[in-house]
Chain A
Amino acid sequence: MIPLTLQQRLERAAARWPRRTAIEDPEQGSVDYARLDATAGRLRDRLCAMGVRRGDRVGFCLRKSADAVAALYGAMKCGAAYVPTDPLAPASRNAYILNDCAVAVAIVDRRFEAALRREFEALGRVPPLIVLDEPPGRALPLETALDRLDGAQPPPTASTEPGHLDDLAYILYTSGSTGKPKGVMISHRNACSFIDWCSDTFQPGEDDRFSSHAPLHFDLSILDIHVPVQHGAAVVLVGEEIGKDPVRLAPFIAAQRISIWYSAPSILSLMAQYGNLPAHDYGALRMVLFAGEVFPVAHLRSLMEQLPEPRYFNLYGPTETNVCTFYEVIGPVPSERTEPYPIGVPCAHYRERVVDELGHDVPPDGEGELCIAGPGVMQGYWNLPEQTSRGFLASGDGERWYRTGDIVVRQPDGNYVYRGRRDRMVKKRGYRVELGEIEACLYTHPIIKEAGVIAQPSPDGLQVRAFVSTRDGTRPSIIELKRFCAERLPLYMVPDVFVVRDRLPRTSTDKVDYQKLKEL
């Protein structure tokens, strides 16, 4: 089979399964493949008439909706890359992103329009906008907006640009160490190698119903949105509000008969605690996938005890590679286990190396930075050639080895264990201290729910500060926490200061926000 680009895959799905539900939008109802493809096609025609060409970028700032999914396929049907932004982020950040990659057109919800326009004007260029209104009834806002535009002058029907596998499919902006977001460029070949790995590994079928919990600017959405299209399966959009509320989300998953769930561990932890899971019927749920953060073992144990039927997978990978290693957690989780599960073995489309600071391979059982090569590795960072070249190992073997920045060690059984971030390695009293390792230790404490550790200069040298929240909201004894760490870590790694908070600040992608911790 000739590999297809993402837009071709949608057209194939529309031809094969026109009446099957593509998108279940709790607010707008079901959208089948024929309608999704037709709406995307109408947008393609409009975008082409607006001058969008193969190789361009089309941005959007949209609530997650059937429209947003149609919009990203519409952009790709022109041969353009889609650039999703976080509707909850400040307008200045989103305007920066859309301006940075010079989008040819931006598609935005009406409520974001005014603020974005102001920011674009401040940056000196306002791209052409397609603005979506909340329409009455069940029409898609995108269809309504296209009707309005077509009323003036319908665009000629364009044909879908088949594109090339090496064209960019999308650009996902992640937080950059410089403080400005940087755009991870992913080609169709990159994306499809991951999607095809998912197909081989999880064997989805047309009866599957995938969750779409992650926002579209988060790389978890690539699996949520594009894997179902490959199989004629449905994607159930999980709204922003309900997605954070375990009490409402737990019955929603059951009622929507979601069969493949994918999210960061944090919401799964909350559901294990507050979701009253045994009260609902999860007969459809056959897989629970999680990624993005370490899953605290106590919560994973509780989840798997309450829902023993599904298979559980720990997926690991930065946006630059999407998922690159995976591990199936087989239950039950032993009651004495406290250390997190491994990140596992490389996915079939990837190869790995583990290197030291000098880029030399470490011994098989040595600790080092995980580097990944294969067809899923990003093209680079948009317009940042220096950061791009720093992101890869200067190996001289002709391979593009992406440096994940994550420190791992290989267990005798071949599975990799995550130790922490390379750039979170600090030197305290001359010792190398991996802040993530301190966090990993804190997560093994039975009452700790969240842990974020930072290092800050102080008159006595580098001070390690641990921010924690507890499962039941009680204040832990700091003496007890220090003793707990002293029993498990070298003394120089015991945090100097503990700060207990109700919850830790999180980024828009639901990771602990270290920048905010440093400001506390």
Chain B
Amino acid sequence: MTKDTLGTVKEFILAEFLPGEDPNALTSSTPLITGGILDSIATLKLVGFLEETFRIQLEPHEVDADNLDTLAAIERLVARKGRAT
């Protein structure tokens, strides 16, 4: 059994973009893009990670704050894309 989506993405974001942060501080509703954690380059790195880890393809129009601004939104996006493929 692999780790759940939310935990996997959370671990990636903490390691890549929030070194030193208390893991408990990053919740499923913490704003990532509007909160300054992910800038444009970081967002692209996250997209690459999601596509590779969950074997999904994101369309350019899906790479936005609506789909990526919180761990909860990312989890929904991955679930939706996973079903579609």
Contacts and interface: CB of A to CB of B under 8 A. Distances in A.
Nearest to B31: A483
A460 interface: yes
A482 B37 contact: yes
B62 interface: no
B35 to A, nearest CB: 4
Interface string B26-41: 1000110011110111
B40 A429 contact: yes
B52 interface: no
B20 A500 contact: yes
Given A429-B40, A429-B41, A460-B41, A486 B20 contact: no
Given A477-B21, A478-B21, A494-B39, A486 B26 contact: no
Contact of B18 (A479, A486, A494): A479
Interface in A380-432: 429
Nearest to B20: A478
B84 interface: no
Interface in A120-171: none
A486 B32 CA distance: 10
A97 to B, nearest CB: 39
B22 interface: yes
Contact of A479 (B25, B34, B40, B45): B25
A234 B22 CA distance: 53
B19 interface: yes
Nearest to B19: A497
Contacts of B36: 482-487, 491, 494
The interface residues of chain B, by DSSP majority, are classed as: loop
B25 A477 contact: yes
A497 B41 CA distance: 14
Contacts of A499: 20
Contacts of B22: 475, 477
Interface in B1-56: 17-22, 25-26, 30-31, 34-37, 39-42, 45
Nearest to B30: A479
A492 interface: yes
A497 B42 CA distance: 12
Contacts of A494: 36, 39
B15 to A, nearest CB: 12
A463 to B, nearest CB: 10
Nearest to A475: B22
B21 A486 contact: no
A429 B21 CA distance: 25
Contacts of A331: none
Contacts of A112: none
B34 A486 contact: yes
Nearest to B34: A486
A479 B20 contact: no
Nearest to A486: B36
Contact of B26 (A479, A487, A497, A500): A479
Contacts of B35: 479, 482-483, 486
Interface in A450-508: 460-461, 475, 477-480, 482-487, 491-492, 494, 496-500
B42 to A, nearest CB: 8
Contacts of A483: 31, 35-37
B20 A498 contact: yes
Contacts of B40: 429, 491-492
B41 A479 contact: no
Contacts of B34: 486
Of A460, A461, A479, A487, most B-chain CB atoms within 10 Å:
A479
Nearest to B43: A491
A477 B22 CA distance: 7
Nearest to B27: A479
Interface string A361-382: 0000000000000000000000
B20 A491 contact: no
Contacts of A482: 18, 35-37
Nearest to A494: B36
Contacts of B37: 479, 482-483
A492 B41 CA distance: 9
B21 A479 contact: yes
Contacts of A491: 36, 39-40
A500 B21 CA distance: 10
A460 B16 CA distance: 11
Nearest to B45: A460
Nearest to A479: B25
B43 to A, nearest CB: 10
Contacts of A486: 34-36
9 contacts: A460-B41, A477-B21, A477-B22, A478-B25, A479-B26, A479-B37, A482-B18, A483-B31, A497-B19
Interface of B: 17-22, 25-26, 30-31, 34-37, 39-42, 45
Interface of A: 429, 460-461, 475, 477-480, 482-487, 491-492, 494, 496-500
Given A485-B36, A498-B20, A500-B20, 8 more contacts: A460-B41, A477-B21, A478-B25, A486-B36, A492-B39, A494-B36, A494-B39, A499-B20
Task: List the 8 closest A-B pairs by CB distance, nearest first.
Answer: A486-B36, A482-B36, A494-B36, A483-B35, A478-B21, A477-B25, A491-B39, A482-B37
